[in-house]
Amino acid sequence: MGVVISLEEGKNKSASVKPLVDLTKTDMDRVNQLILSKAGSDVQMIPEVANHLISSGGKRLRPMLTLASASMFGYQGEGHVKLATSVEFMHTATLLHDDVVDESDLRRGKSTARMIWGNQASVLVGDFLLGQAFKMMVDVGSLEALDVLATAAAVIAEGEVLQLSVAKNLETTEDDYLSVIRAKTAALFAAAAEVGPIIANADKASRSALRSYGMNLGYAFQMVDDALDYGGKSADLGKNVGDDFREGKITLPVILAFRRGTQEEQAFWRSAIEKGESSDENLEKALGLITKHDALKDTIARALHYGKIARDALAPLPAGPLKDAMMEVIDFTIQRVN
């Protein structure tokens, strides 16, 4: 069940994250070292739980953004490696807590930490990683970078609570959805990209440009993720098609299909999402309605819109391979749907 998306502008049709990976490779090796060392503890359960998730094969897009956005402005030093590691730890901590909150069994195709070590360990190891993240940030010594990342931490948690309170509520509007994904995803992308120019002492305009790039890339990233949940394959995705459906999550494909549906269809959505009648048969029906109302196609179209804003945010910056690589990541993020 693939989704065909049309990149209207006919731009880069086989975009890849590879140029960014290559350009940040030396620094990412140091980030990976630091991740291993800072997830270490005499308390054996901590590295076990942390490494289970850390080694589960995420692309580490967020720390790469921090490294690239610092290097872009000629940063020389160690701070970007520490901040990139902090960003990845903040993300990992969020995932550990999310899996507890969502009662998820699988993430990226592997059992979640909570299924192996229990909810308790997932909550506490998440807290530990967050503490380690803050220690590393403090170590870098930039109060401005600290401010950006601490604010992101509070916003992320606030967004997760918001998501909890709109859960299973089909009255959720597209604006509500945007607020949730801004907080739970886009805010960390924005912070990850903004701290680069901050520690490189770049000017205010560059800092705003990178923040806007990260924020809008984050919107696009989450929307595509939410689309994939109704149209990806478990192996690629590391989760099963329909996980969000079974959890009653209100994501953009559902919001669009529900709003565009007949009364009868809306009654179906209510029973499925609000009352949890999420059998395989109902998932099939939901997928049919999503297709009927172009809800996936339009979710991707919305993602493309934010991708374009990210592109325009970066456009004024001087040309160079890092800028090109970051531009390509926008297309890559959206083309994951294919």
Sole binder of a second copy in the list 146, 186, 223, 237 (CB under 8 A) = 146
Can you tell me which of 125, 254, 256, 287 binds a second copy, judged by CB under 8 A?
Answer: 125
> From CA 305, how far away is CA 2, in angstroms rounded?
21
The nearest distance, CB 119 to a second copy, in angstroms, is 7
178 interacts with a second copy by CB under 8 A: no
Closest CB to a second copy among residues 27, 194: 194
Cβ-based nearer residue to a second copy, 14 or 44:
44
Cβ–Cβ under 8 Å, residues 283 and 257: no
Q: Residue 21 or 162: which CB sits closer to a second copy?
A: 162
Q: What residue ranges in the chain does DSSP mark as E strands? A: 106-107, 110-111
| Extended strands (E) in 106-264 | 106-107, 110-111
Report the distance separating Cα 10 and Cα 251, nearest Å: 28
Closest separation between CB of residue 152 and a second copy, Å?
8
The tokens of 232 are what? Answer: 């990806």
Comparing C-alpha atoms, which of 27, 14, 15, 16 is closest to residue 64? 27
Structure tokens at 87: 């960003």
Site membership for a second copy, residue 119 (CB under 8 A)? yes
Residue list 126-145, contact with a second copy (CB under 8 A): 127-128, 130-132, 134-135, 137-139, 141, 143
Smallest CA-to-CA distance from 69 within 187, 180, 244, 212 is with 212
Q: How far is the CB of 70 from a second copy (least distance, A)?
A: 20
d(CA 322, CA 320): 6
DSSP 78: S
Binding test (CB under 8 A) with a second copy, winner from 162, 241, 283, 309 = 162
Binding flag, residue 123, a second copy (CB under 8 A) = yes
Residues binding a second copy (CB under 8 A): 41, 43-46, 97, 100-101, 119-121, 123-125, 127-128, 130-132, 134-135, 137-139, 141, 143, 146-147, 150-151, 153-158, 160-162, 164-165
